[in-house]
């Protein structure tokens, strides 16, 4: 900065004296140079004072200037994502204190045994809350399902079996009925009473194949009522479906389910290969 000020001052003075300075004494030349230096010093001091007066630019707190900062931030995001769905209040000061004490190797405020006790007590309370929540949801679904089936049974085309299963024949088949021991090939879609579709072989563009005896009771009964080539809409009470357990996050407890089922075929059981050692033969040998 100082060299720039000196140069500017020298140019100013040189411009002022242009056409005036002649072959006079070198003392005047030296005096002009001294004056230029004085002006330059004053300009430098003024510039330095101006710079000192300017406030320092604050660093953007949202910046992640290094790879270490970015990685640290990502780890923080991971921890937060793991915790944000926990239905409890966190003391952030204590939370960050726990992280710092462990990372810095400082003495923890709780022993390992005390920490485990705190966690176990928390998880036990969470389990109790979850069971209560599921019980309330199950009771609600049971009442809604019972009311739905009571109204549905009087609708045109609806048939009700002794078990309480309801169905409508969309298209009657002309093939054989499967038995509980058969393996069937079907297309289907399943939904909750509110219309939420939770499964569909149509969307997968691939029929499903499974043993009749390996599915929920409502399906077992419905499949054995159908003939190959038929298509039914089936209303399955919760006790013939997944009951109080539900099915993961997809089917809540005590849900009445609605299925459209298309029976495509009955798979023939594989016959024993007589070339395989130990396969049964007609002569008992």
Number of helices (H), then strands (E), in the chain: 7, 7
Contact present, 197 and 190 (Cβ < 8 Å): yes
Residue 41 in 3-state DSSP? helix
Identify the sign of the CA torsion 121, 122, 125, 127.
negative
In the set 251, 258, 259, 266, the catalytic residue is 259
In the set 167, 235, 242, 266, the catalytic residue is 242
Percent helix, strand, coil in the chain (nearest 5)? 45, 15, 40
Identify the sign of the CA torsion 12, 13, 18, 20.
positive
Identify the sign of the CA torsion 255, 147, 157, 166.
positive
In the set 188, 232, 235, 266, the catalytic residue is 188
Helix axes 26-53, 2-17, angle to 10 degrees: 140
The DSSP symbol for 177 reads: P
Active site residue 202: no
In the set 101, 146, 182, 198, the catalytic residue is 198
Active site residue 148: no
| Rounded-to-integer distance, Cα 170 and Cα 157, Å | 9
Active site residue 235: no
In the set 41, 146, 199, 202, the catalytic residue is 199
Active site residue 232: no
Token pair, residue 168, equals 């409508």
Contact present, 227 and 177 (Cβ < 8 Å): yes
Phi, psi of 161 (to 5 degrees): -90, 175
Active site residue 198: yes
Identify the sign of the CA torsion 91, 96, 101, 102.
positive
Which residues are tagged catalytic? 188, 198-199, 216, 242, 259
């Amino acid at each position: 900065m100082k060299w720039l000020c000196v140069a500017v001052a020298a140019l100013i003075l040189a411009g002022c004296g242009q056409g005036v300075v002649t072959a006079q004494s070198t003392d005047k030349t030296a005096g002009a140079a001294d004056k230029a230096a004085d002006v330059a010093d004053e300009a430098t001091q003024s510039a330095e004072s101006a710079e000192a007066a300017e406030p320092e630019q604050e660093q953007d707190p949202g910046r992640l200037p290094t790879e270490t900062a970015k990685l640290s931030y990502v780890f923080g995001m991971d921890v937060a994502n793991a915790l944000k769905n926990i239905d409890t209040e966190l003391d952030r000061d204590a939370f960050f204190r726990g992280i710092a004490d462990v990372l810095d190797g400082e003495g923890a405020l709780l022993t390992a045994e005390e920490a485990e006790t705190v966690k176990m007590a928390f998880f036990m309370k969470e389990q109790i809350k979850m069971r209560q929540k599921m019980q309330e949801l199950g009771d609600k679904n049971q009442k809604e399902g019972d009311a739905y089936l009571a109204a549905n049974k009087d609708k045109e085309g609806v048939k009700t079996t002794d078990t309480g299963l309801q169905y409508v024949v969309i298209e009657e088949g002309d093939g054989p009925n499967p038995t509980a021991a058969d393996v069937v090939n079907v297309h289907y879609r399943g939904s909750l009473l509110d219309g939420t579709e939770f499964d569909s072989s149509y969307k997968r563009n691939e029929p499903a194949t499974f043993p009749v005896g390996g599915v929920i009771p409502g399906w077992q009964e419905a499949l054995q009522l159908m003939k190959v080539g038929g298509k039914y809409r089936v209303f399955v009470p919760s006790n013939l479906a997944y009951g109080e357990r539900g099915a993961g996050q997809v089917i809540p407890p005590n849900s009445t389910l609605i299925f459209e089922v298309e029976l495509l075929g009955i798979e023939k059981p594989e016959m024993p290969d007589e070339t395989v050692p130990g396969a049964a033969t007609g002569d008992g040998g």
